[in-house]
Amino acid sequence: AQRVTQPEKLLSVFKGAPVELKCNYSYSGSPELFWYVQYSRQRLQLLLRHISRESIKGFTADLNKGETSFHLKKPFAQEEDSAMYYCALLGGETDKLIFGTGTRLQVFP
C-alpha cells in the first residue's frame, strides 16, 4: 500500500539551527514527491517537488530511494519558517496525492 509517514508531529529549533523534517514513503515504483507548507492563517501551498530539484526559501529535499525517504532540510532556520509541513506522494497506481500527517515546525528566536 502507498503510504507517507512523517514521524514527528512537532519539531522545535532555535533560529540559525539546522532543520530536517523527516518523510518516509512506501511505494514500489518510481514516486513523485512533494512538500507542501501551511503558514499560520494561510492556505496550504506547494513548497517544492523533487522532480524540479529546486531550493525554495533555502529548503532542499533529496529523494533517497534506498531509504525510501524525502527529508526536507534547511541549514539555518528562520523564524518565518514556522509552519505546518506536509510531505506528499504521487503514486502511479492510483494517480492521486497521498499526504503525510504533517510536522509542525517551531523556530524560536
- Residues lying near another protein in the complex (CB under 8 A) are found at 4, 32, 43-46, 49, 51, 86, 90, 95-97, 99-102
Select 4 or 83, whichever has its Cβ closest to another protein. Answer: 4
Select 17 or 51, whichever has its Cβ closest to another protein. Answer: 51
Contact between 35 and 99 (Cβ < 8 Å): no
Please give the Cα distance from 34 to 72 (Å, whole number).
Answer: 10
Q: How far is the CB of 92 from another protein (least distance, A)?
A: 10
Q: How far is the CB of 50 from another protein (least distance, A)?
A: 11
Sign of the C-alpha dihedral computed for residues 12, 15, 18 and 19 taken in this order:
positive
